[in-house]
Structure 1
């Protein structure tokens, strides 16, 4: 079995382990803090690491260096602490791409493929180099791999001469870069996150939003070549911020949800023409709006601007012991079963997966 096959088999084991413990990774966010470009490092315990064994324990072996027969190889150290009775746990960090995480999310939640709306549903065929092959066009012959293959043949057959290290590859040594054609969506998309940061939205509520937004982005990136994200925070007033500020800001005072919706509308009208972009506004709040009048203004904005011009408008209500939760009830009463707006109640971290399914399960 080749090293490549072993590696692929190990990746399958890793993905199976992530899928098995998927809820833990979603609710605890173990991998979100370990992002590097398009990859995520995942700490995986309980996977035995392959190792060489050189014979039965407590038996001698061949050593190197200075020493006399019968001489001890070392004295016990004087470390501190009690000896443990349980075996140590291997903690292995492995990398998975965002595409692989999206596949796991899609399989776990049975999410449908998103079909970009309108005339933006354009796909482009690209060439992806995927390894080496013994045949191929001369323009793709890889010198380094071909040389290494020839060197192995020389060494294994005993004809390699270190004094005259001339290596002449023959036809069977040649290695060519292999490739496959992949189709990638060209459509552009923007996700605009809005969050209530008034005093009733505490650290736990913001952490739920952080975890959920990571997985929402992971799924959407699989379907769009270019995914942009924008962030709006609001209490009685709204402002655009960067991602770090979005999840760390705490304010006090009243809540005017319409302030965020107005700013979101302004951003869309300025930067994202609706005939060129797939637009996903997400609003997270504990549902405690300042007044019924402001809620009526929000529903007016939704009817006249957001629902006709965006792929889908998503509202997630994070439960807080200080919030009334009334805004969710008002939206459900006003819009009923209108599929252009999706409402989800997120009572705790354990409900994050259900909420993601609510938002993304219709493939819009």
Structure 2
């Protein structure tokens, strides 16, 4: 293996060794890039190269001012660029190294998260943006001749032929039975389920007048004359005629396919009251940010609404959403009241909806049961989710998440997740994204 092969291998390893997606979500810097350009750090592998030892500058052709005499000192190596300016040595770590990132768009992020967590979320189209003709799979009783479904018509005629045809020669032999009347022949034919008319039998009976008496009874005919089925007749003679009827005609026309745009609005709600300290806020960001990226990658058009609340609620920009902290109390229902108002701009018939809320589960007395739960039930959405962040374990009055679980149980449109540390983040994301019902848009 040559040097070029070594270099190619180093580059390959360097490209492959970007940070693991789960590891990145749990511990990485999520602030890099933006919602449409996700930057995941690469674990750099330095490429090998040649350089001269700065301590070995002597030798043939290296002297200053000619060849030195025997025993003459040749001096010390001169400072080289990068060894420090004005004779001063540089301190290690003074200049940051250049960071490299693997740039990932939301579609790729969503695909990789599906694979890593075993998710299978299929976005639902809501708003019809186009109707177009699909394959000619539907049938009607009228249409241009060019769309006549001849194959179907032939099959219908063939089924009729197989049903209506019978062994005429055998019936003619029955007409030759001694003393038999047309009515007796007709009644026998009906008992045999032969589709023959009385008029046909009367004609056949008249034609057999000279041969009447050939057989003593119908049983005598059945013992001595071999009957031939319709299938055997077709195999022998082929099909000379297929009895078509007007009612057999069907004309193909295209199926009308509705192209639907996959729109989604995501409402992110965060408790910013005094109890939501830095570690809790970080866990909210570490959970909500990948959810935003994932849904951006899954839908054609994604809109995001950010609501902060203490005892009151207000809409904020994403840039300030994760950093706000107030000194007020907590009334979670105020955020849902604002969410319901803001979602009026995103009609349920046209938009998929996700309502994600997070906090430390502390809420004012009776607000969960009397305020939040009724509001959640009144807001149509693909999914409601609540994420409890309690790094030190549940506080005595942190009961909001438990009350939601008790009320909604294992419903297919409400998810409750607990995040006490970074290790819980990907489990919480899976819990949320795997809860949505398959038919929630109906």
2:47 is aligned to 50
Q: What displacement does 1:362 show?
A: 4.1
Q: Name the counterpart of 1:17.
A: 18
Structure 1 pair 54/272, CA: closer, same or farther in 2 (3 Å)?
same
In 2, Cα distance between equivalents of 1:234 and 1:348:
23
For the Cα contact (< 8 Å) 1:198–1:255, is it kept in 2?
yes
Which residue number corresponds to residue 193 of structure 1? 268
**CA–CA separation in structure 1 for the residues paired with 2:77 and 2:130:** 68
User: Is 1:111 matched with 2:111?
Assistant: no
Mapping of residues 319-358 of structure 1, within 5 Å = 319=390, 324-358=397-431
Regions of 4+ moved over 4 Å = 9-13, 54-61, 67-73, 76-84, 89-92, 117-124, 320-323
Structure 1 residue 16, shift from structure 2 partner: 5.1
1:231 corresponds in structure 2 to 306
How many residue pairs get aligned? The number is 284
Q: Per-residue CA shift, 1:297-351, capped at 9, x if unaligned?
A: 2111122x22xx2111111111155562211111111111111101111111221
TM-score by length of 2: 0.55
Aligned: 1:40 with 2:38: yes
More divergent stretch after superposition (234-243 vs 110-119): 110-119
1:287–1:323 CA contact under 8 A, matched in 2: no
Question: Counterpart in 2 of 1:272?
Answer: 346
Contact 2:387 2:417 in 1 (8 A): yes
The 1:11/1:243 distance shift into structure 2, 3 A limit, reads farther
Q: Secondary structure at the match of 2:290?
A: helix
Structure 1 residues 240-255: aligned runs within 5 Å: 240-255=315-330
**What is the DSSP-based 3-state SS (H/G/I as helix, E as strand, rest coil) of the residue aligned with 1:248?**
coil
Structure 1 partner of 2:387: 316
Distance 1:234-1:24 versus aligned 2 partners, 3 A rule: same
Indicate which of 92, 95, 102 corresponds to 2:102: 95
Match of 2:361 in 1: 287
Q: Is the 8 A contact 1:188 1:227 kept in 2?
A: yes
Provide, for residues 246-281 of structure 1, a one-character-per-residue CA deviation record: whole Å limited to 9, x for no partner.
112111232111111110000011x10111111111
Report the Cα distance in structure 2 between the residues aligned to 1:94 and 1:24, rounded to whole angstroms.
15
Instruction: Report the TM-score, using the length of structure 1 for normalisation.
Output: 0.66
Deviation string 1:212-256 (CA, Å, 9 cap, x unpaired) is 111101111111122111111111111111112211211123211
**Cα deviation 1:111-131 (Å, max 9, x = unaligned):** 21323165669999xxxxxxx
Gap runs ≥5 in structure 2: 1-6, 59-63, 68-73, 133-258, 438-442
Q: Measure how far apart 1:48 and its partner are.
A: 2.1
Equivalent residue for 1:173?
A: none
SS of residue in 1 equivalent to 2:268: strand
Q: Which runs of 5+ in 1 are unaligned?
A: 1-5, 62-66, 125-183
The within-5 A match list for 1:127-206 is 186-206=261-281
The alpha-carbon deviation at position 287 of structure 1 amounts to 1.0
